[in-house]
């Protein structure tokens, strides 16, 4: 391919913007609050994460998850394309060239990208969490590490482990809320991310958690997931004073929007999966407005404090 035929950064950014608009209205709304360069990097990273997820699960921008019968081959493809991007090669796929651009523009540790792929590897081999520690391991690999990657894109020093911990906590909060919301959808494709130990504790027989007789007990576990998500969210907020105003505004907006999802699942009890929990446009605007006030007062609202969550992310 000749140099003049290479896709421009602007073209790849435009494709990434289309991806986030189709795949996540919540993240698309929050991303508009970033300054231009950070906003573009957020879109680029989203496009790469979304593409990996879609390849792994046979989806189209997060919709229409299907049973996959060639998971190892899909994982091999994701790994090869990602490694090419990390090596600075022009991949020819806009989503993976998006990762190449961010990696070139920041000091993003390559281990972060590889940690995300390790999460897809867990799904590829049908892995299920047996304990709460296993649950956190999974959440880190599919979402917590994305928080770390986004923090670097916002300008956080990759050596600032404390701030990266808080960024990771936000990703953990998002994923825990997602797991609570998507229990029924995951069950339809043979997946379960609620720890097996929790099912045993509630005397729910294997594979029967969506059956009507067990819905009240499942609701207890969904509320537990929402409570864990709230703990990680609260921890993440303490890191926002380290961010520029607009980045803090975006992060706090996303925290509010996703926090509402977890709270709604908990509030609906056994009816949480009758209809998919979402936040309306007006609710998003409310959280964005509230987050602007929080971001202005973030140093006062979220003063430095020890991180009091026992779980810690892997160090590289």
Q: Given this model, what pLDDT does residue 295 score?
A: 98
Mean pLDDT of 42-48: 95
Share of the chain above pLDDT 90, in %: 80
Per residue in 249-285, pLDDT (tens digit) is: 999 999 999 999 999 999 999 999 999 998 898 998 9
User: Does the pLDDT of residue 26 top 90, yes or no?
Assistant: no
Q: Given this model, what pLDDT does residue 7 score?
A: 83
Mean pLDDT of 52-67: 66
| Model confidence band, residue 60 (pLDDT cutoffs 50, 70, 90) | low
Q: Given this model, what pLDDT does residue 174 score?
A: 95
Per residue in 87-121, pLDDT (tens digit) is: 999 999 999 999 999 999 999 999 999 999 999 89
Burial 302-315 (b: 16+ CB within 10 A, else e): beeeeeeeebebee
Q: Given this model, what pLDDT does residue 66 score?
A: 60
Q: Which fold has domain 128-316?
A: Farnesyl Diphosphate Synthase (1.10.600)
User: Does the pLDDT of residue 62 top 60, yes or no?
Assistant: no
User: Does the pLDDT of residue 4 top 80, yes or no?
Assistant: no
Three-state SS string over the chain comes to CCHHHCCCHHHHHHHHHHHHHHHCHHHHHHHCCCCHHHHHHHHHHHHHHHHHHHHHHCCECCECCCCCCCHHHHHHHHHHHHHHHHCCCCCCCHHHHHHHHHHHHCCCCHHHHHHHHHHHHHHHCCCCCCCHHHHHHHHHHHHHHHHHHHHHHCCCCCCCHHHHHHHHHHHHHHHHHHHHHCHHHHHHCCCCCCCHHHHHHCCCCCCCCCCHHHHHHHHHHHHHHHHHHHHHHHHHHCCHHHCCHHHHHHHHHHHHHHHHHHHHHHHHHHHCCCCCCCCCHHHHHHHHHHHHHHHHCHHHHCCCCCCCCCCCCCCC
Per residue in 121-149, pLDDT (tens digit) is: 998 888 999 999 999 999 999 999 999 99
Mean pLDDT of 195-213: 96
Q: Where does the chain hold its CATH 1.10.600.10 domain(s)?
A: 128-316
Q: Given this model, what pLDDT does residue 1 score?
A: 45
Mean pLDDT of the chain: 92
With beta carbons less than 8 A apart as the criterion, state whether 74 and 68 touch: yes
CA angle 36, 41, 46 (to 5 degrees): 125
User: Does the pLDDT of residue 65 top 70, yes or no?
Assistant: no
User: Does the pLDDT of residue 316 top 80, yes or no?
Assistant: no
With beta carbons less than 8 A apart as the criterion, state whether 273 and 218 touch: no
Q: Given this model, what pLDDT does residue 168 score?
A: 98
User: Does the pLDDT of residue 306 top 90, yes or no?
Assistant: yes
């Amino acid at each position: 391919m000749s140099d003049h035929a290479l896709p421009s950064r602007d073209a790849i950014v435009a494709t990434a913007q289309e991806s986030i608009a189709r795949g996540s209205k919540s993240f698309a709304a929050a991303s508009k609050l970033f300054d231009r360069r950070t906003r573009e990097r957020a879109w680029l990273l989203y496009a790469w994460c979304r593409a990996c997820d879609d390849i792994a699960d046979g989806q189209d921008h997060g919709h229409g998850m299907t049973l996959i019968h060639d998971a190892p081959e899909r994982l091999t493809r994701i790994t090869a394309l990602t490694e090419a991007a990390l090596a600075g090669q022009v991949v020819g796929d806009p989503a993976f060239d998006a990762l190449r651009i961010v990696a070139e523009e920041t000091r993003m540790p390559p281990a972060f990208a590889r940690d995300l792929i390790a999460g897809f590897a867990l799904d590829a081999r049908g892995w299920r969490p047996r304990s709460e520690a296993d649950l956190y391991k999974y959440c880190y690999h599919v979402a917590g590490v994305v928080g770390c990657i986004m923090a670097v894109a916002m300008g956080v020093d990759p050596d600032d482990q404390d701030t990266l911990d808080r960024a990771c906590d936000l990703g953990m909060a998002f994923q825990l809320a997602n797991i609570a919301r998507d229990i029924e959808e995951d069950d339809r494709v043979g997946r379960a991310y609620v720890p097996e130990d929790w099912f045993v504790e509630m005397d729910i027989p294997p594979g029967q958690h969506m059956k009507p007789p067990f819905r009240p007990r499942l609701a207890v576990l969904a509320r537990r997931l929402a409570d864990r998500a709230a703990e990680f969210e609260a921890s993440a907020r303490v890191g926002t004073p380290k961010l520029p105003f607009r980045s803090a505004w975006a992060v706090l907006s996303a925290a509010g929007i996703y926090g509402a999802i977890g709270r709604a699942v908990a509030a609906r009890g056994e009816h949480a999966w009758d209809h998919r929990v979402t936040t309306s446009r007006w609710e998003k605007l409310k959280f964005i407005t509230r987050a602007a006030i929080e971001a202005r007062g973030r140093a006062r609202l979220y003063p430095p404090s020890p991180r009091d969550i026992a779980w810690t992310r892997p160090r590289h």
